[in-house]
Structure 1
Amino acid sequence: MAISGTIFILFTLVFIHGLTICSSQTNSSRVKCIDRERIALSKFRKSLTDESSRLSSWIGQECCSWKGITCSNKTGHVLKLNLHNPTPFDNDKFYNSQDGEYIAYYSKSCLAGELNPALLDLKQLQFLDLSMNNFSGSEIPKFFGSFQNLKHLNLSVARFQGNVPPHIGNLSRLEVLDLSDFWTNRLTSESLHWVSSLSYLKHLDLSGVSLGRAKNWLDSVNGLPFLTKLNLSNTLVATIPPLTRRPNFTSLVSLDLQWNIITSDIPHWLFDLSNLIELHLDGNGIRGPIPEAFGKLTNLTVLGLSRNYFNTSVPDSLFNLRNLTYLDLSQNKLQGTISNAIVNLCNLKFLDLTDNRFTGKIPDFGINQNDCLQDLDVLRISYNSLHGPISASFGTLSSLRELDISNNIVNGSIPSSFGQLSNLEKLELSNNSLSGMVTELHFSKMSKLTELSMSLNNLLVFNVSSEWIPPFQLKTIKLSSCTLGPLFPSWLKTQENVVELRISRTGISDRLPDWFEKVYSRVHYLDISKNNISGELPQFEEANNRPFRRLILNSNSFDGSLRPLPSDVLLWDVSNNFVSGNIPIQNGTNLTLEVLILKITRLHRRNRKPVDARFDKQHSTWRNSEFLGKFTTVVLTLAQQQFPGTTPVSGERDVSQYSRCGEKLIHGVIPPWIGENQQYLAFLSLQSNNFHGEITEKLCQVPQLQLLNLARNNLTGNIPPCIGNFSAMITDHSSIEYLMLDVDYGGSIPGIINGIERRYTKTMPFLTSIDISDNSIVGEIPDNLTGLVGLRNLNLAGNNLTGRIPGKIGDMQELISLDLSRNELSGQIPPSLSDLNFLTYLNLSYNNLSGRIPNGNQLRTLDPSVYLGNDGLCGAPLVRRCDGDAPAPQDNDRTDINEGDDDDDSLFPWFYAGIGPGFLFGFLVVCGILHFVRSWSLG
């Protein structure tokens, strides 16, 4: 035994000695950086700009130890050059960073400069990643096509632009190519023929590259037998062409064609890709039914078909895709009921059926006996026509983080089982017909809830204890039109992280509590309007919020002085209260205010003092005029409020019919700073005040102005000829860019359209209007006014205009409402007036017009009263015949124009009547816009 032990010890010592020798031999023979490649890397670095010193380790002789460099352990050749920007890119922070902090931080971490061709000395380079840097719009170097051994090339989001060099097709060993960029269409490629040479390619991402002219893209891709991932999203691809032979890229696992302009049918070859796991066709223009053949793709786990025009019911075959974890059918025109078979998709984590035409009851999504949907994370079924109650079984969806049932016609009470949703972060139930009590039990385990929205459920009553301390800390609270009052909800005191609070029209009749100012002084969006809240206005702290703050406190009983206004306020509405005084400012005058609502009234209630006129009566000037001129304003309304008893505009000539409470309070001339400083002003309403003097030509210097309302003042002089310079009234403001106007107005703009005074809120972006009615304007209507071809409302009634109606009035094809009544216009009605196909309201009464009323289109269908007070007019629809006319036929079938209700929604019938088919198609093709517009109406 002793001998055996001795032998074992000797053997162990020999073994250890051997390992030591091997180790020393390995260390002594370790391959070092190749000088030629080190020199090449040094040259490469010198041509770069490196503000954050990411490449500070690139010193000394041993280049294989430099950051981002990987060498072969055997040969010492550089195999890998990874210069990906290490700063995580956050899209939200990039566009919403405070003071540009994140943008500056991210930009500093980007490499920039030139790409030195010395890199070609890295003969064995297999991996090159320059992604998330900033090469300032330079082209991708052609020499990149000379790396013979390259297998991985990532140039994504590196700010390259220009044509993709076809030389990349020379990289015959390439397996991964990523040229994607969310700054879209900087790069272009008119042909993908070069791709067909990359026979070993497995991953191809060209998202954001413009391929609008690359007609052969499918044939080029079809020659890649090893391709597993193909991303051509947002590339302007217009069609998915058919294949003349079976697809050769059957290894494809992921196909992304979303956010293109595809209107073609889904081709049959797509359903032969049996290995497909992810398929995205969202955001295109694909029409018709969802093909039943989708049922053949049994391996699918992700299916995105949102934002298209699928218009039938959901095929049953979709419910056989039992591996689906993600299904998005939102923003289509899908019809019928939501089949109960949808609960058979047991593995679903994400389901979005938002914004379709589904009817019937909500399926019972609660976990059934097969434990299906136990992992459901997001459920969105909003913007449909679903009705009936919400099942109590929803409370069993324990994994649910987001539940959105808003904007349906769901009724009944909210199940108390909701309180068991312990993982819920977002609850959206707004704009339904829900009723009953909401108690502490509904939120008992919702400790993770951050967004709560139950607005526009008028019969929903919060019945919680004044001592209740919720388990959650909310960031968003939307409870408008629910009943929270009469006392101010004390539980709001506990919510210390709120950035958005909307509790308008909630029946609160109470004094603003002392704690409110402390808890909500830095809130981003505040709407406590249309209650009966009393006390002094709250003081808001300087917070430098992004997005800029909206503060909506109108229609309450606040009194006392106006409080200092922080500089980061975008919208401020304190109208219809009892506050007074000048507009104070906080920390200087560098305001970002875009929407100012200071509707001024003399309405007395409960013996309170009237609202301060906010102008110097002695000198007839605005006390705040110079101050207001410092704003960068999009919407400015200082219009008087019209109270019950006002008579709508009609054919009557006497202007004294306008009854209103109190006097017109703002005096003086229109200040010149409106034209000098307000380059972004889009909506200007000074209606019903006491402005005098001429319309300043300074107004013509406001290029973005699309609504000008100077009605009911004491303005004199001519209409300035430069009024034809309003370029924003030449364009179509139904365009997508205008729908994305980032002003949540929170108020209304008054205007007389179709002869009725209306108030416009959510439809403001559609409105292009000039209203100079009921002043003392003289002279002729400028001919160049007819160049405003995007104008929808023109109201010059109640002035002293003379001369003729411009002969080219018919060029204003978008006109829907035209009122030239109560002037001294003469001559014939221009024949071109009959070319206004969308005109639904016309009033030419009480002028000196003569001659035959033009034939055609709308003019003969209008009520004869629109021509009253023009004794020289003749012809249909008037009884008075022109010389040589046959007796006018009796039109017993004519119906008068329905003027509609006096509210904002009444805009939509005449608005849509005026939209041509071309715009309708463009309007619908853009993903999500209708959803966006509808969301404005939420409290």
Structure 2
Amino acid sequence: MEGLETCCGQANLTISCFADEREALLELKRSFVDDSHRLQSWTGKDCCGWKGVECSRKTGHVVKLDLHNPVIIDYDSFYNDADYAENYSRSCVGGEVSPSLVNLTRLVYLDLSSNNFSYGEIPRFMGSLKNLRYLKLSVARFGGKVPPYLGNLSSLEYLDLSDFWTNRLTSDSLSWISSLPSLKYLNLSGVNLGQSDDWMYGINMLPSLVDLNLSNCLVRRIPPLEYYNFTSLVSLDLQWNSINSTLPPWISNITGLLALRLDGNEFYGYIPDSFKKLTSLRQLGLSSNFLGSSFPSPVLSMINLSYLDLYNNKFRGSIPSNITSLCSLELINFSTNRFSGEIPNLGTDFYGCLTNLQYIQLSYNSFEGPVPESFGTLSSLIELDISNNLCSGNIPTNVGQLRRLKKLRLNKNSLSGMISELHFAQHTVLSELSMSSNSLVFNVSSRWVPPFQLQTIKLDSCVLGPEFPLWLQTQTKVKELGISNASISDSLPDWFEKIYSHVHFLDLSRNRISGKLPKFEKSNITDRRLVFRSNNFVGPLVPLPSDVHFLDVSDNSLAGNISIPEATNLTVQFLLLSNNFFTGEIPTSLCQMKVLWILDISSNLLTGKIPDCFGDIQSLSMLDLSDNNMNGAIPSSLSSLTNLNSLRLHNNNFEGKLPLLQDSMFLTILDLGRNNLNDVIPTWIGENLTSFKFLNLQSNKLHGDIPPSICLLEELQMLNLAGNDISGKIPHCFGNLTGMNIDHYQYEYLEVDLDYGGSIADFIKGVERRYTKTLPFLVSIDLSNNNISGQIPGELMNLSKLLNLNMSRNHLQGRVPENIGDLKALESLDLSWNDISGPVPYSLSSLTYLSHLNLSYNKFSGRVPTGNQLQTLNDPSIYIGNSELCGAPLPNACPGDLPFPKTDEDTDDTEHNHDRSSEEWDLVSRSGCWEFVAFCISRSHGVMHFFIS
């Protein structure tokens, strides 16, 4: 700092430090926990030579104490890199801060940042260091309340209490800040100011303040002020708070502002026109707010902008072409908005001044048209991201001239054409290549050696085959490789296993790759994902490296017993083995995988029983053993799986009682259909488990009544009890199943991808359909093939979102409720093979989505209703077996039907005339009962017919 003169390291120094200050430092050392031995130099008499200690040249007093952690803290690395986190933690100083610190009376500079003081409070005595001008305690893991005694440090110019271990420090009031008139830099990022409504008033008393950072402080509002005293601000950072308001207009008065970061709040409305006065602004961050309108014109006046971030707002319309007048731009991020139109030409060939542009981020909008060829002239470009748009046409080859380009993201557009070696000619530093989900064909030589070494390759749904791409052999640093659905019909080459053994993410799915699964070595990560689904792999399941988090080998031709050696060392959370030819019994070694979340071994040839030890896998959320040849009782130990979300044992030979799952409070899917279970439907299904959405118990040996407790399942949207021996009546309270009365596309259902464990089969329109990603839209009741009696409850007509209703082959009696037309979403209705009587309700004709109807073999009577959707359901078998029904499409006419008189003109069009006559008479005859009509006029082929009744 200015004015701070030290004597450390000076060869002509003749004095050592003062004894009382040396003793104060030694006392401080004794109060610390220093496992890294960073203070081992603190020995001897000359404390001015100790590491981190500096003394004044003039007086010899200790003036600077810098004990910051030499390992630079990085949030992402700390939580995602175990080696980094361990190295950082090992180098921390901890313990307590000794009060002896106050004996360093001339101390001007104190830095304890990036250490670990275990969330102890900031010592109050620090307020006694009155000469202190620089105080940095950032990321030192202090906790509790910020001591207002820091307001005694009247000489303080720099104060940093920030911490990304969020909100451990709190402050109810910032009034003490006003006592620091010399303060130029204030960073309270991460300090909880949620209860400090006066924060603005204290800061407003700091006329010298240049840099203010209150990001992530839980600030809820910006209080109004009559005047603003901190117009000297150069940098203002209020990111990641909850300020729900329009943008503060007073900001435009701080005309010397160079950096303005307001990201991650709840600002709404538009950017005020007054912001065009901020002509000195170099950084503008407004991402992750609710700002709208067309492209904000005030931005175009900020001629010195180098950083412009509008990510994740509601801006719409096109990008004006004169954005190219902002010649200093280095980064533009307009991703995740509602921009449309063509991407403007930003290249230097057109306007000549964007020579510094390094980052173009335009993803998740609705841009259309071609990729501008001018992009190829932006020689400073490091990242180009136009993914998730509607861009079309070819990719210009001059993109290959961008020598500094590191990330190229063009995935999820409508791009087409050939990709050649010219597209990558100068890409010597390219690390990410993402072109997935386009219609691109790679046309490169088999001898091509790319100039780059990629870390991320995403080419899913591009045409790379039929041979396995040989250029991948040259890429030895890849961490992520996605080439699913790439038209590859080949075996894995010999080199693949060696080069990609340490890959973090691998997706080869939906190709025709043959041969055996590759073997992989352990890497230094903990969440490796390997996806081989939907190929032609054969042979056994290979041993898994212990760092695999996700393994999907489903839908292949793997065979043999399932062998999981050294399961106790595995960290697999997703294990997907379905649709193969695995045989034998499930190995008990699976029970040793204590972090297993999803286990899917469905559609194999497994035999034997479910291991009783499955109840020990407490993390298990989804278990799918359906479509095998397993038998025996379902073990009672499954009742201990309290995290279970989905249990599918469909189509096996399980017998005995239903499993007791009353403690599985998160259970959403229970599919035990097509087994030999012999039990009554337990009442705990509704009384204990209220999260049920999909319940399938079809084709077992269940008996007894449907318990009214089922009606407590307010979120239930699929109930299948078909093919059992259930008796009694349908509970009237079925009308309380409100999960069948809401629009399910508005809701999130499962906490995991529905592709993995969240699927179910149901008979809809007479055909068995499997629902995976569309599972939230399955709304169905199937009670068919039972011994249910009584009438159809009128309350069922409340289920307005029901898609499928099947009550066929029971003993139902009485009439169908006349208001069945209230089931507006109904697509399939089957009431066949019952004893239902009375007319077919005319309201059926109002069901515009109905495409499958079966009312056969009942006791319906009267005329078949017509009109609207029923006109398309003209198959007589819909109504067969109802001897008292008449009218089209049945061949028997209703009593009283009078044929039209034939004329010579009618003889060649008898069928047409009959259809018209039936329609006209339907106006005066419904449900087989004639209504009195004075007369009816029909016009047919120009002839007027009069009918008197």
Higher RCO, 1 vs 2 (CA within 8 Å, ≥6 residues apart): 1
Match of 1:779 among 672, 680, 683: 680
**Paired position in structure 2 for 1:425:** 406
Say which SS state the counterpart of residue 724 (structure 1) adopts. coil
2:524 match? 545
Conservation of the 8 A alpha-carbon contact between 1:816 and 1:841? yes
Q: Which moved more, 1:394-403 or 1:865-874?
A: 865-874
CA contact (8 A) 2:600 2:625 kept: yes
Per-residue Cα deviation, 1:183-209 (whole angstroms, up to 9, x for no partner): 101111122222222222111111111
Say whether residues 1:842 and 2:745 are aligned partners: no
User: Identity over the aligned pairs, expressed in percent?
Assistant: 46
CA shift digits 1:675-698 (9 cap, x unpaired): 21x222222211222333333332
Task: Tell me by how many angstroms 1:346 deviates.
Answer: 1.1
Distance (Å, rounded) in 1 between the aligned partners of 2:737 and 2:386? 47
CA contact (8 A) 1:420 1:444 kept: yes
CA 280–865 in structure 1, closer or farther in 2 if over 3 Å, else same = same
Tell me whether 1:890 sits opposite 2:843 in the alignment: yes
- What are the superposed Cα offsets for residues 275-307 of structure 1, whole Å, 9 maximum, x if unpaired? 211111111222232333322211111111111
Aligned to 1:754: none
Deviation at 1:795, TM superposition (A): 2.8
Residue 544 of structure 2 corresponds to which residue in structure 1?
Answer: 565
Q: Counterpart of 1:871 in structure 2: which amino acid?
A: L
Aligned-partner Cα distance in 2 for 1:496–1:120: 56
User: Which of 598, 604, 615 is equivalent to 1:635?
Assistant: 598
The Cα of 1:717 is off from its aligned counterpart by: 3.2
Q: CA deviation at 1:793?
A: 2.6
2:503 corresponding residue in structure 1: 523
Q: Does 1:514 align with 2:452?
A: no
Instruction: Sort the Cα spacing of 1:467 and 1:703 in 2 relative to 1 into closer, same or farther, 3 A.
Output: same
Q: Distance in 1 between matches of 2:257 and 2:549?
A: 48
After superposing the two structures, state which structure 1 stretch, 820-829 or 369-378, moved more.
820-829
**What are the superposed Cα offsets for residues 18-55 of structure 1, whole Å, 9 maximum, x if unpaired?**
xxxxx9xx999955312111111111111111111111
Does 1:819 find its partner at 2:720?
Answer: yes
Structure 1 position 443, deviation (Å): 0.5
Q: Does the CA contact (< 8 Å) of 1:115 and 1:141 recur in 2? A: yes
- Residues 356-371 of structure 1 mapped to structure 2, 5 A cutoff: 356-368=337-349, 370-371=351-352
Task: Tell me the distance in 1 between the aligned counterparts of 2:794 and 2:390.
Answer: 48
**Residue 146 of structure 2 corresponds to residue 146 of structure 1:** no
**2:626 is equivalent to residue 726 of structure 1:** no
- The residue type paired with residue 774 of structure 1 is R
Looking at structure 2, the residues matched to 711 and 141 of structure 1 have their Cα atoms a distance apart, in angstroms, of 63
- Which of 64, 76, 79 is matched with 2:63 structurally? 79
Correspondence 1:666 to 2:626:
no
Letter in 2 for 1:256: D
- Aligned partners of 1:523 and 1:693: how far apart in 2? 41
| 1:829 and 1:851 in contact (8 A); partners too | no
Q: Counting strand residues as a fraction of each chain, which structure ranks higher?
A: 2
- Pairwise CA distance, 1:590: 1.4
What per-residue deviation string (whole Å, max 9, x for no partner) do you get for residues 494-552 of structure 1?
11111111111111122322222222222222212222222332222x23231432222
- Structure 2: any 5+ residue segments left out of the alignment? 1-6, 745-777, 822-830, 853-949
- Contact 1:845 1:870 (8 Å CA) reproduced: no
- C-alpha distance in 1 between matches for 2:250 and 2:593: 62
Q: What residue identity is the alignment partner of 1:117?
A: P
TM-fit CA distance, 1:844: 4.6
What is the 5 A alignment of 1:157-196? 157-196=139-178
- The structure-2 alpha-carbon separation of the partners of 1:34 and 1:412, relative to structure 1 and needing over 3 Å to count, comes to same
Matched-pair contact (CA < 8 Å) for 1:853–1:873:
no
Instruction: Identify the range of structure 1 (583-592 vs 180-189) with the bigger mean alpha-carbon deviation.
Output: 583-592
The worse-fitting range, judged by mean Cα deviation, of 190-199 and 794-803 is: 794-803
- 1:795-849 CA distances to partner (integer Å, 9 max, x unpaired)? 3333344455454555544334343444415342326625444277230533526
Report the Cα offset of residue 95 of structure 1: 2.1
Q: How far 1:325 sits from its partner (Å)?
A: 0.7
Whole-angstrom distance in 2 between the partners of 1:323 and 1:29: 48
Does structure 1 conserve the Cα–Cα contact (< 8 Å) formed by 2:242 and 2:266?
Answer: yes
Aligned length: 790
Residue segments in structure 1 that go unaligned for 5+ positions in a row: 1-22, 602-610, 616-620, 641-663, 730-767, 900-939
Letter matched to residue 415 of structure 1: P
* AA aligned opposite 2:491: R
The C-alpha deviation readout for 1:700-724, integer Å capped at 9, x for no partner, is 3223222222222233333344x23
Whether the 8 Å contact between 1:600 and 1:665 is mirrored in structure 2 is no
Counterpart code for 2:612: P
2:780 partner SS: strand
Q: 1:227 to 1:863 in 2, by over 3 A?
A: closer
Change (3 A) 1:860 1:136: closer
Structure 2 equivalent of residue 256 of structure 1: 237
One-letter amino acid matched to 1:142: R
Query: C-alpha deviations, 1:467-486, integer Å up to 9, x for none?
Result: 11111111111111111111
Q: Is the 8 A contact 1:232 1:257 kept in 2?
A: yes
Instruction: Quote the residue 1:328 is aligned against.
Output: 309
2:848 is aligned with 1:871: no
Alpha-carbon distance in structure 1 between the residues aligned to 2:137 and 2:850: 61
Counterparts of 1:639 and 1:276 in 2: how far apart (Å)?
62
Alpha carbons of 1:148 and 1:805: their partners in 2 closer, same or farther (altered >3 Å)? farther
1:557 to partner: Cα distance: 2.4
Which residues in structure 2 correspond to 1:34-45 (within 5 Å)?
34-45=18-29
Q: Of residues 188, 194, 199 in structure 2, which corresponds to 1:217? A: 199
Q: Which residue of 1 aligns with 2:94?
A: 112
The verdict on how the C-alpha distance between 1:627 and 1:815 changes in structure 2, with shifts beyond 3 A counting, is: closer
Deviation at 1:564, TM superposition (A): 3.1
- Provide the secondary structure at the position in 2 that maps to 1:728: coil
Matched, 1:293 2:233: no
Once the two structures are overlaid, the 10-residue window that deviates more, 202-211 or 289-298, is 289-298
* Counterparts of 1:832 and 1:84, CA distance in 2: 66
What value does the CA root-mean-square deviation take over the aligned residues?
2.9
Counting only pairs closer than 5 Å after superposition, residues 279-358 of structure 1 correspond to structure 2 as 279-358=260-339
Q: Which amino acid is the alignment partner of residue 589 of structure 2?
A: E
Q: What letter is aligned with 1:701?
A: S
Mark the CA change 1:300 to 1:441 in structure 2 (over 3 Å): closer, same or farther.
same
Structure label with greater radius of gyration: 2
C-alpha displacement of 1:364: 0.7
> Does residue 1:626 correspond to 2:589, yes or no?
yes
TM-score by length of 2: 0.79
What is the DSSP-based 3-state SS (H/G/I as helix, E as strand, rest coil) of the residue aligned with 1:566? coil
Q: Which amino acid aligns with 1:829?
A: H
Give the drift of 1:424. 0.4
Identify the residue that residue 394 of structure 2 maps to in structure 1. 413
Residue 50 of structure 2: aligned partner: 66
Give the match's secondary structure for 1:295.
helix
TM-score (norm 1): 0.79
**CA–CA separation in structure 1 for the residues paired with 2:261 and 2:430:** 30
* CA drift at 1:562: 3.7
Alignment-derived partner of residue 903 in structure 2: none
- Deviation string 1:709-747 (CA, Å, 9 cap, x unpaired) is 2222233333344x2322434xxxxxxxxxxxxxxxxxx
The 1:218/1:872 distance shift into structure 2, 3 A limit, reads farther
Residue 476 of structure 2: aligned partner:
496
> In structure 2, do the counterparts of structure 1 residues 574 and 784 end up closer, same or farther at CA, with 3 Å as the change threshold?
closer
1:703 aligned residue (642, 666, 679): 642
Read off the aligned partner of 2:583 and give its amino acid letter.
Answer: R
Q: Give the secondary-structure state (helix, strand or coil) at the position aligned to 1:496.
A: coil
Q: Is the 8 A contact 2:818 2:843 kept in 1?
A: no
Matched, 1:579 2:479: no
Conservation of the 8 A alpha-carbon contact between 2:189 and 2:215: yes
- 1:891-933 residue CA offsets vs partner (Å, 9 max, x unmatched): 543333799xxxxxxxxxxxxxxxxxxxxxxxxxxxxxxxxxx
Q: Amino acid of the residue matched to residue 461 of structure 1?
A: V
Letter in 2 for 1:494: T
The superposition leaves residues 860-884 of structure 1 with CA deviations (integer Å, 9 ceiling, x where unpaired) of 564784444361576454599x99x
Q: 1:435/1:835 Cα in 2 relative to 1: closer, same or farther (>3 Å)?
A: closer
